[in-house]
Amino acid sequence: MQTNPTHTSLVAVGDSFTEGMSDLLPDGSYRGWADLLAGRMAARTPGFRYANLAVRGKLIGQIVEEQVDVAAGMGADVITLVGGLNDTLRPKCDMGRVRGLLEEAVGKLAPACKQLVLMRSPGRQGPVLERFRPRMEELFACVDELAERHGAVVVDLYGAPSLADPRLWDVDRLHLTAEGHRRVAEAVWQALGYDPEDTEWRTPMPATLPPGWVTRRVADVRFARQHLLPWIGRRLTGRSSGDGLPPKRPELLPYEGPAA
């Protein structure tokens, strides 16, 4: 990858991770790593354009159906694609179908841009990761194979010790905090060939005393009530948190955003 390249446009494709949950702004909207990355790129390139087609809760089939052709038609320099992890978290998951859909997406997006970026998504330490680790690693093996075949860049967030730290995850235990998103933006920035602004993004946060038993139990109850039970309810009724929501930034337009 060349050093300090010039990219004039970015299109982000995916689910809640790419939409930016849970990097909450004062107005109630989400920022996230893709916005941060676009802000950095825009600061270097006047007229830089950015679109973010991501919608929370989307499965890989929905991403292919609703976002991939749109993104491919935009003619962007860089396209990022992160999808399939929501599928692996479902009780019943056809990994053969997931791999086939991801292959279809990459096959369409790679020739439609100058650089396609794929990711091995981060995983929070804990029992959920251990339960679904085999499916996740099967998904990431597919990502690696497709990247090699199509000349895409892979950003390995799964292998970054810092991003496994529960302190970089929101109370819903599914989405990164603002600091987590900042580190992801730095990872993608470096993968695209830009000079590092944070060479230590992979380095874990300094150790702190773990919370006490009572604090952990209170957090577990709050998590179950506010996040786990609603998530189970949506699964049982076939609903998604993204139902009815439009893409975050559906048009490829000049972007003036956060550069930090």
pLDDT digits (tens, 9 = 90+) for 46-62: 999 999 999 999 999 99
pLDDT digits (tens, 9 = 90+) for 79-117: 999 999 999 988 889 999 999 999 999 999 999 999 999
- Give the mean model confidence (pLDDT) for residues 68-72: 98
H/E element, 9: strand 9-14
Phi, psi (degrees; rounded to nearest 5) at 227: -130, -50
The 3-state DSSP class for residue 221 equals: helix
Q: How confident is the model at residue 259 (pLDDT cuts 50, 70, 90)?
A: very low
Tokens 């976002």 belong to residue? 67
Q: Is the pLDDT of residue 63 over 90?
A: yes
Q: How confident is the model at residue 172 (pLDDT cuts 50, 70, 90)?
A: confident
pTM, whole model, 2 decimals?
A: 0.87
Please enumerate, as own/partner, the contacts of 28-34 that have beta carbons within 8 Å and a separation of 24 or more.
Answer: 30/248, 31/178, 31/181, 31/258, 32/181, 33/176, 33/181, 33/182, 33/184, 33/185, 33/188, 34/10, 34/80, 34/185
How confident is the model at residue 17, as a pLDDT? Answer: 96
Other CB atoms within 10 A of residue 110 CB: 20
Q: Is the pLDDT of residue 217 over 90?
A: no
What does the CA dihedral 85, 91, 95, 99 come to, rounded to 10 degrees? -30
